[in-house]
Copies of this chain bind each other. A is one copy, B any other.
């Protein structure tokens, strides 16, 4: 068994990659979708179900876990893995994204960021060292550097300042204590400005991390820009280290960041859609609130082998959704994640077999034409 951080690219097809990454809680195969366990739980879903659908790594939110129930309480109860009964790898974000997207009142200075808690309005201070200490206390397998995430409409000066601050904070995060075997990833910022992305990537790579994230995208910018910047940024990162796109979860988006050379990605989309009655399928999205599904005996996706699709009809799930039954949210959430995980496995197989381009085009065609 290799040491945590070992990363081996088994196959490339174009710039798409099939790789393996070793963590303190096991080895994962990429491209890999990571379900999000915001508050120490993937909403409504049991870890046994996550294992059943082939989940390899979970994401935990440092911002939320720091505020509720607090990392010290989690450590007292055995750390985040034990707390949520998930033995596999966990990546924790740094809290930066939430601080910059959720907080109504926040002030940033070079030392850190102060913000109001969404839970009780308390003033909270988060410095790079705090973000790393919280993640070390949680005991995650991959910790993320604290970054400054500008709004997509930020001024050029603000974007440039955020890149500089993100680099200086990354240096402090890199120097901070870690949990045993914990990896640390840097986060490239720079909005959709190629020069700033280049600067951010170069500065972080010079510092040297176990992997690199592409942050500050899929936050409201024009969609083609997302993938253009992803591809150019991925090309600036070391080919022998993992690349993580933060926050993408629609099937087409996942295929496009894989095509751009990304290895890992996460999103709350599959569970959020599940809780609102929507199913992801190979032919596009289904809205199960639609009365047209009431007598439909087919599974959500006839090509899906998940525990929802192998047992339940659209008619049954439509009934649960219409009656706001908890099981409906659950069955949809499990299916949606199973669908994305299977999509990633298929993408990996296609890369290994050097037919990713055809797989990509056929998958996108099916998703967008929606023949059903």
Contacts of A73 in B (CB 8 A): 294-295, 315, 319
Q: A39-B323, A68-B319 are in contact. Are A295 and B77 (CB under 8 A)?
A: yes
A79 to chain B, nearest CB (A): 12
Nearest B residue (CB) for A44: B326
Whether A46 contacts B327 by the Cβ 8 Å rule is yes
A46 to B307, CA, bound (A): 10
Contacts of A69 in B (CB 8 A): 294, 315, 319, 322
A325 to B39, CA, bound (A): 8
A320 to B46, CA, bound (A): 12
Residue among B39, B41, B78, B320 making CB contact with A41, cutoff 8 Å: B320
Q: A78-B297, A295-B77, A297-B78 are in contact. Are A84 and B316 (CB under 8 A)?
A: yes
The verdict on A358 contacting chain B, using a C-beta distance below 8 Å, is no
A85 to chain B, nearest CB (A): 4
Contacts of A311 in B (CB 8 A): 47, 85
A234 to chain B, nearest CB (A): 35
A46 to B312, CA, bound (A): 11
A83 to chain B, nearest CB (A): 5
Whether A325 contacts B294 by the Cβ 8 Å rule is no
A291 to B331, CA, bound (A): 31
Whether B68 contacts A316 by the Cβ 8 Å rule is no
The verdict on A43 contacting chain B, using a C-beta distance below 8 Å, is yes
The verdict on A329 contacting chain B, using a C-beta distance below 8 Å, is yes
The verdict on A190 contacting chain B, using a C-beta distance below 8 Å, is no
List A residues 147-176 near B (Cβ within 8 Å): none
The verdict on A11 contacting chain B, using a C-beta distance below 8 Å, is no
Number of interface residues of A (CB under 8 A): 37
Q: Tell me the dominant secondary structure on chain A's binding face.
A: loop
Using an 8 Å CB-CB cutoff, how does the interface string of A313-350 with B read, 1 for contact, 0 for none? Answer: 10110011011011101110000000000000000000
A37 to chain B, nearest CB (A): 10
A319 to B69, CA, bound (A): 6
A47 to chain B, nearest CB (A): 8
List A residues 282-312 near B (Cβ within 8 Å): 294-295, 297, 307, 311-312
Q: A73-B295, A330-B44 are in contact. Are A85 and B325 (CB under 8 A)?
A: no
The verdict on A179 contacting chain B, using a C-beta distance below 8 Å, is no
A44 to chain B, nearest CB (A): 4
The verdict on A222 contacting chain B, using a C-beta distance below 8 Å, is no
A313 to B323, CA, bound (A): 31
Contacts of A83 in B (CB 8 A): 313, 315-316
Interface centre among A73, A85, A311, A316 (most CB of B within 10 A): A316
Q: List 27 A-B pairs, Cβ < 8 Å.
A: A39-B323, A40-B316, A40-B320, A41-B320, A43-B326, A43-B327, A44-B326, A44-B327, A44-B330, A45-B327, A46-B327, A48-B307, A68-B319, A68-B322, A69-B315, A73-B295, A73-B315, A73-B319, A77-B295, A77-B316, A83-B313, A83-B315, A84-B316, A85-B316, A326-B326, A326-B330, A330-B330
10 nearest interchain CB pairs? A44-B326, A85-B311, A41-B327, A69-B319, A77-B315, A41-B325, A39-B323, A83-B316, A77-B313, A77-B297
